[in-house]
Amino acid sequence: MTTPFPFTAVVGQDDLRLALLLNAVSPAVGGVLVRGEKGTAKSTAVRALSALLPEVAVVPGCRFSCDPAAPDPACPDGPHEPGSGAGRPARMVELPVGASEDRLVGALDIERALAEGVKAFEPGLLADAHRGILYVDEVNLLHDHLVDLLLDAAAMGASYVEREGVSVRHAARFLLVGTMNPEEGELRPQLLDRFGLTVEVAASREPDQRVEVVKRRLAYDADPAGFAARWATEEAAVRQRIAAARELLPQVRLGDGALRQIAATCAAFEVDGMRADIVMARTATALAAWAGRTDVLAEDVRQAALLALPHRRRRNPFDAPGLDEDKLDETLEQTSGENEGEDDPDPDGPGGGGGGPRPDAGPQGGGDTSARPESGEDGEPQATGAGEQSAARASEPFRTKALSVPGIGEGAAGRRSRARTEHGRTTGARRPRGTLTKLHLAATVQAAAPHQRARGRSGPGLVIRRDDLRQATREGREGNLVLFVVDASGSMAARQRMSAVKGAVLSLLLDAYQRRDKVGLVSFRGAAAEVALPPTSSVDAAAARLESLPTGGRTPLAAGLLKAHEVLRVERLRDPARRALVVVVTDGRATGGPEPVALAGRAARLFAAEGVASVVVDCESGPVRLGLAGQLAGELGGTAVTLDELRADSIAGLVRDVQGTSRRAA
């Protein structure tokens, strides 16, 4: 077995190590989500933690790791008689991003269940992870329904597999750890809330610390066993401290004063629901146990807030992570009087000893955002150079009308366009291609019924064979590639239009986040077009690029369309199942390059010929309008909406779905 990198040899990352250790002490905390850039020891720390967990005793031969002292009475391999068992190391099970539902929860043989009445069940990763660690790298790229399944199992401590009335249940209690790079896309707020703690990690900017990271990594790569041996004493100390904290945990007292501080903190930061209060209480209790105390102190509550609240107060992907620590301290100070005489602060703090991180280490960052360029007194952006103006500030985002791609796709699960998916309403049946996942019972019975006499069946019941099985076809929603093509020319900057334009695109980006789309951004101005952001799942990255987008110069509309066409061509090679929706934000003018109008028309007709769904957001304003955006929409084979019509609460027109070419749809 590969020797893991020692947990205590990880340089820095105090918050990450503390959050993992608190979950090791008290799995009821609910797991941890680790957010950070690539190369910040996220995976290394998680894999190292498994070596610190105490051994678990299991019933010999049980595939579900039942505890011999108190075996699960509903274990599919049971029933087991209480008694002694064999010890084994705690497992760390990794869930691949591309895993199927059957691989996660287990597979039930429907054919044998229907024909023989036998519950033939093959355990999945949830069973393997029971009483250990379930690690999901790049959890933000995992399909939503898989995230729902594993989070439900983590919350209930059990996994249920049901296929057409045949069900299997088994225990599934594990430490859930997810890691993600925010640049690759965010998790939905509902899913973020299901993780107990969250930690933001970043590479150190201190040269000495970076040097130490490199030294240790090179030493480990050269001799993993020898490097681990040099850290064996520190590892043993932390292992013993985890075991001691687990034994002490039931004795820790969470007083009314600490509970009031927890409630006041959650209320002050306007956290939805009650899960945050419960997680903070469990975290503060685990912090006290980790420090070797039986009383929860104010510093435990403060540290618990820094770990449990940042991801619960984000309302959309454009909100900065982190907590206002001054506000946190003020809230705790206001409620500290109720704790007087009840909690005696420990002058040494809850940290110290054992080789573990200090619990009072606050998160990095703090949630500050960089200032945006200011506009002039008249509202127009200040000029920064010849033919170029500084970036305009976006107006407030709003809820947009629903835009979708026509037809039925087969792309990644999402919430925008109709698609054939594994989850959704049943629309028909077909023969299974590979493993049967969703049985269409009526179609299966209908297929088997005509053959019963030939199969020797004359009485009640059916003889069902594999050829009779029918897979249910389902229709749900898919996520699309929403490619924004934004006119940033001088005409768009006139009359303060760019602020409204950016506000509209920001609104569409927020809509794309909620619908699980990929997004890309192409801008054109002056003499050329550029890919401001290649297609990505990170809509906050797109928002940042949009915010800094400068304006000025002529309008090379054709160049913008051709650049977008090239982006789509490359993206089709990477992800052919994901359909595209092109959103052109312009007033329709074309003034850049030779024969700008004719060339723009030819470029637009490329999209129409390929049946690419498109919409033109008409940014033209003023009493006299040329209607050029509408003409462009016709050549694209799409439709045009004004900025006012884009609003979901607009009464200017009915909700408009994006129309592809009518010739292709026919």
Q: What integer pLDDT is reported at residue 661 of this predicted model?
A: 39
Q: Residues with Cβ < 8 Å from 297, sequence gap 6 or more? A: 258, 288, 343, 344, 345, 346, 350
Which among 399, 337, 303, 424 is positioned nearest to 19, based on CA atoms?
A: 303
0.95 surpassed by pTM? no
141-155, 346-360, 488-502, 572-586: range with lowest mean pLDDT? 346-360
Q: What integer pLDDT is reported at residue 602 of this predicted model?
A: 94
Query: Looking at the DSSP assignment, which residues form a beta bridge with residue 641?
Result: 617
- The predicted model gives 58-84 an average pLDDT of 87
Model confidence at 498: pLDDT above 90: no
- The predicted model gives 184-211 an average pLDDT of 82
Model confidence at 260: pLDDT above 90: yes
What is the spatial order of strands in the sheet that 481-487 belongs to? 528-536, 518-525, 481-487, 580-586, 613-618, 639-642
Q: How confident is the model at residue 664 (pLDDT cuts 50, 70, 90)?
A: very low
Residue corresponding to tokens 């006041």: 264
- The predicted model gives 222-230 an average pLDDT of 92
pLDDT tens-digit series, residues 290-307: 999 999 999 999 999 999
- The predicted model gives 526-537 an average pLDDT of 89
Q: What integer pLDDT is reported at residue 432 of this predicted model?
A: 86
410 to each of 94, 417, 425, how far by Cα in Å?
A: 27, 10, 15
β pairing state of 413-421 and 383-385: unpaired
Q: What integer pLDDT is reported at residue 539 of this predicted model?
A: 80
Model confidence at 339: pLDDT above 60: no
Model confidence at 317: pLDDT above 70: no
DSSP state of 35: E
What is the Cα–Cα distance from 557 to 4, expressed in whole angstroms? 55
Q: What integer pLDDT is reported at residue 140 of this predicted model?
A: 80
Q: Which domains does the chain have, with CATH numbers?
A: 388-405+480-665 (3.40.50.410), 424-476 (no CATH)
- The predicted model gives 178-185 an average pLDDT of 79
The angle, 0 to 180 degrees and rounded to 10, between the axes of the packed helices 14-25 and 275-290 is 90
Model confidence at 372: pLDDT above 50: no
DSSP 280-314: HHHHHHHHHHHTT-SB--HHHHHHHHHHHSGGGS-
Query: Looking at the DSSP assignment, which residues form a beta bridge with residue 525?
Result: 528
Model confidence at 420: pLDDT above 80: yes
- The predicted model gives 61-81 an average pLDDT of 87
Which among 501, 550, 585 is positioned nearest to 373, based on CA atoms?
A: 550
The angle, 0 to 180 degrees and rounded to 10, between the axes of the packed helices 256-268 and 298-308 is 30
Q: For residue 20, what are its two tokens?
A: 């993992």
β pairing state of 528-536 and 580-586: unpaired
Name the percent of the chain lying above pLDDT 70. Answer: 83
Strand intervals (E) in 479-626? 481-487, 518-525, 528-536, 580-586, 613-618
Q: What integer pLDDT is reported at residue 320 of this predicted model?
A: 63
Model confidence at 370: pLDDT above 60: no
75-89, 114-128, 149-163, 568-582: range with lowest mean pLDDT? 114-128
User: Is the CB of residue 305 less than 8 Å from the CB of residue 328?
Assistant: yes
Model confidence at 176: pLDDT above 90: no
What is the Cα–Cα distance from 559 to 633, expressed in whole angstroms? 16
Q: What integer pLDDT is reported at residue 345 of this predicted model?
A: 44
DSSP state of 140: G
Radius of gyration for the alpha carbons in the chain, expressed in angstroms and rounded: 29
Active-site amino acid positions: 275
Q: For residue 440, what are its two tokens?
A: 């269409």
Q: What integer pLDDT is reported at residue 183 of this predicted model?
A: 72
Q: What integer pLDDT is reported at residue 20 of this predicted model?
A: 93
Model confidence at 533: pLDDT above 70: yes
Q: Is the peptide bond before 76 cis (omega within 30 degrees of 0)?
A: no
Q: What integer pLDDT is reported at residue 308 of this predicted model?
A: 92
What is the Cα–Cα distance from 505 to 659, expressed in whole angstroms? 20
DSSP state of 143: -
Model confidence at 613: pLDDT above 50: yes
- The predicted model gives 541-556 an average pLDDT of 85
Strand intervals (E) in 56-151? 56-58, 86-88, 92-94, 106-108, 121-123, 133-137
- The predicted model gives 134-158 an average pLDDT of 82
Residue corresponding to tokens 């470029």: 603
Query: Looking at the DSSP assignment, which residues form a beta bridge with residue 487?
Result: 524
User: Is the CB of residue 133 less than 8 Å from the CB of residue 31?
Assistant: no
User: Phi first, then psi: what are they for 593, rounded to 5°?
Assistant: 85, 170
Name the percent of the chain lying above pLDDT 90. Answer: 28
β pairing state of 133-137 and 106-108: unpaired
* Element at 14 (helix H, strand E): helix 14-25
Q: What integer pLDDT is reported at residue 581 of this predicted model?
A: 95
Q: How confident is the model at residue 319 (pLDDT cuts 50, 70, 90)?
A: low
Supply angle C-alpha 399, 405, 408, rounded to 5: 130
Q: For residue 210, what are its two tokens?
A: 């970076």
Q: What integer pLDDT is reported at residue 362 of this predicted model?
A: 40
User: Phi first, then psi: what are they for 649, rounded to 5°?
Assistant: -95, 15
pLDDT tens-digit series, residues 15-51: 999 999 999 999 889 889 988 877 788 888 888 888 8
DSSP state of 7: G
Which among 243, 225, 552, 239 is positioned nearest to 383, based on CA atoms?
A: 552
Sign of the C-alpha dihedral, residues 18, 24, 26, 32?
A: positive
Sign of the C-alpha dihedral, residues 115, 119, 125, 128?
A: negative
Strand intervals (E) in 390-460? 413-421, 425-430
- The predicted model gives 247-259 an average pLDDT of 93
Q: Is the peptide bond before 79 cis (omega within 30 degrees of 0)?
A: yes
Q: How confident is the model at residue 352 (pLDDT cuts 50, 70, 90)?
A: very low
Q: How confident is the model at residue 369 (pLDDT cuts 50, 70, 90)?
A: very low
How high does pLDDT run on average in the chain? 81
Q: What integer pLDDT is reported at residue 378 of this predicted model?
A: 32
User: Is the CB of residue 646 less than 8 Å from the CB of residue 631?
Assistant: no
Q: What integer pLDDT is reported at residue 214 of this predicted model?
A: 92
pLDDT tens-digit series, residues 375-406: 333 333 333 444 455 667 777 888 888 888 99
- The predicted model gives 244-260 an average pLDDT of 93
With the CA atoms of 303, 308, 313 and 317 taken in that order, what torsion angle do they form, in degrees rounded to the nearest 10? 110
User: Is the CB of residue 563 less than 8 Å from the CB of residue 529?
Assistant: yes
